[in-house]
Structure 1
């Protein structure tokens, strides 16, 4: 009898790891090692080493002692693959138009493996503007983009993103006031904050939402007052421009959510 092509090149260890990831992806609250083994019809001892490797590689975490849950590492890897390239291609003409109408630079930021990462940026059309290089890693805690990426996520995803950020940056945990601010940003629909890196700059950030109303990216203008261009939009008009552009991007991403300023 001919060997089935699906079994000819089996890799049992890889299959076991993928079985675990696929199982945990469909479970809220995580599973113990014994529960994983029971659901997959195997003995618990078969999964000890595999779970240990998945934890060490950052794909799985144990936030509640003996329960295993997925991290956002797979999500982060997917973010930097084809969907992100498509997002950048959709965003580029809209970001160029935003730069022209606002007279300010702007950037598009996604979450990737513990950091906020700039995946696209558009220079200001005039002499002056604040821009950040594509590929730069910025903080989740003290930037408008980071705040928006956290604010428009479920509490569980938010905690995983923060845990990954703490591991990758060794920054201290944030006080309750920080989480209260994230809730306020979600209610308001955007972030507007003085830059904690550059004096005189205000971060104006709005979410690009997917069909599930979660932020897949943050669109941010590092706003500076242009004293030599009195006709340039003021900060209130500029946040409206950011919101309108983010809404267009959200619609391209399949969301029908309306931003409210």
Structure 2
């Protein structure tokens, strides 16, 4: 009861309302009208007029179709100002570029952010063909190589915390004992290799970027496709070797960076 009273004492209704709008718009494609926003948040449409106007004027929300409100990339841009993320991306970029050239495949760098795996850097394949994922995309912890790696290289207690936070924003049920056994196998062999559950013919290859404490601070992943017209392109076994070498270098840099920032 005392905790609830403290929560009420420090409430900021206007701030809560603005955050409710941003969180709602972040989870939909195509935007929402003022009436749709009000209905989803179980409020009167009139409650949101001034708040939406301020969010548009500050650049967090836009109205591309006149009456529909959509989230802009301003929040993502602010997130990129966060020093550890900027530093990690700056270290990763040349290594990711080199990995794309040597593997002939695209690659992505993924971190955990409030229960979601988020792509913070992307390197295109050097030739015509490759699988790209937009920077800023949120992907699942449960059915992607990056998500598996982020979970695998954490303690059992941390895994449960990560999964609990992830489940707040997804309808997927808790995972089975077999899932946790798979995480242990990934940790033992040092990488994940799995058929993509989103795109046919693609294999997710994912390895951990480790901090100085040996825990995954990011996952570097290749959505591997067989390049029929590129006979000199590395096969999947060689590509895994290249990916492991790249993350070993990045882990050395990131581990040092983490130590310096503490």
TM superposition score normalised by structure 1: 0.69
- What's 2:142 paired with? 141
Partner residue in 1 for 2:5:
49
2:207 alignment partner, SS class: strand
Q: Secondary structure at the match of 2:179?
A: helix
Alignment gaps of 5+ in structure 2? 11-15, 17-77, 257-262
Q: Is the 8 A contact 2:91 2:254 kept in 1?
A: no
Please state whether the residue corresponding to 1:173 is helix, strand or coil. Answer: coil
Cα 1:235–1:174 shift into 2, 3 Å: same
- Length, aligned pairs only: 190
Q: CA deviation at 1:152?
A: 0.3
CA distance in 2, matches of 1:108, 1:191: 14
Q: Is the 8 A contact 1:140 1:146 kept in 2?
A: yes
Corresponding residue for 1:16? Answer: none
Trace 1:63-212 onto structure 2 (pairs within 5 A). Answer: 81-212=82-213
- Structure 1 residue ranges (4+ consecutive) displaced by more than 3 angstroms after TM superposition: 47-54, 77-80
SS in 1 for 2:181: helix
- State the 1:139 CA deviation: 0.4
For the aligned residue pairs, the C-alpha RMSD in angstroms reads 2.2
Residue aligning to 2:249: 248
CA distance 1:82–1:176, change in 2 (3 Å): same
* 2:111 and 2:120 in contact (8 A); partners too: yes
**Structure 1 unmatched runs, 5+:** 1-43, 58-76, 256-261
Q: State the TM-score, normalizing by the size of structure 2.
A: 0.69
Residue 81 of structure 1, CA deviation? 1.9
Partners in 1 of 2:172 and 2:244 — Cα distance?
30
1:213-228 equivalences under 5 Å are: 213-228=214-229
Displacement of 1:169 in angstroms is: 1.1
Once the 2 structures are TM-superposed, how far is the Cα of residue 80 of structure 1 from its aligned partner?
7.6
**Contact 2:146–2:221 under 8 Å retained in 1:** yes
Q: 167-176 vs 203-212, which deviates more?
A: 167-176
Task: Report if aligned partners of 1:79, 1:112 keep a CA contact under 8 Å in 2.
Answer: no
Q: Quick one: structure 1 residues 138 and 230, their matched pair in 2 at CA, closer, same or farther if it must change by over 3 Å? A: same
Displacement of 1:50 after TM fit? 3.9
Q: Quick one: distance in 2 between partners of 1:243 and 1:151?
A: 16
